[in-house]
Amino acid sequence: MLLKIENGRYYSIMRFTVILFFFLILLFGGYDISRGSELQRAAAAYKEGDYDTALQIFIPLAEKGDMFAQFNLAKMYRKGRGIPKDYKTAVKWFTLSAEKGNAKAQYHLGVAHSFGLGVVPDYKIALKWFNRSAEQGNTFSQYHLSRLFYLGNGVKEDKVYAHMWANLASSSGFEMAQQLRQLLTEKMTSHQIERAQELARECFKKNYKGC
């Protein structure tokens, strides 16, 4: 089917739609493209040790609500890269990024609340953030959930669930998770191990959601 335009030329509706689509991307998507480019430039500067340039880019983007800039800025505060080390400020930016769904930021928040880095230690809060991150497939958060269930920190001690999370984290080859799974296996009955393995399979099928 053809569509007539003012100068008398004809375009197929499909071709016209494609042209319109890319025009809208250029018109309304320019900020996202620019932001992505800026983030790449900041990441490259950080990798090269040019922390001043990285901060100059990350700070305004973070203040505008970009969760990736917020996460990277938090890391710079936590490590003291180009700026004085400040765990409290790191937690602030990790939190803002984590609330937007950044799994890595959620993991770092779990660590902060587990070990009292910039906050008062609170295993229940750590459990919440590790769980949100683990549901997105973050191996390190799955490992830490296993530890919390094994030690009974922030949650009732449960070797079956500890084994389940250690098993899931081990699937990516994470050695510490494999060691924890082995330790748990030695302390569990065959029935408990069978149940833990069943839960792990079910959790994997659910894409780690609601485990």
128: nearest Cα among 144, 110, 115: 110
Per-residue pLDDT of the chain (211 residues; tens, 9 = 90+): 333 333 444 334 444 443 443 333 333 333 454 677 999 999 999 999 999 999 999 999 999 999 999 999 999 999 999 999 999 999 999 999 999 999 999 999 999 999 999 999 999 999 999 999 999 999 999 999 999 999 999 999 999 999 999 999 999 999 999 999 999 999 999 999 999 999 999 999 999 999 9
Residue whose tokens read 């922390």: 51
Beta strands (DSSP E) in the chain are 2-4, 10-12
The DSSP 8-state label assigned to residue 20 in this structure reads H
Asked if residues 64 and 38 have their Cβ atoms less than 8 Å apart, the reply is: no
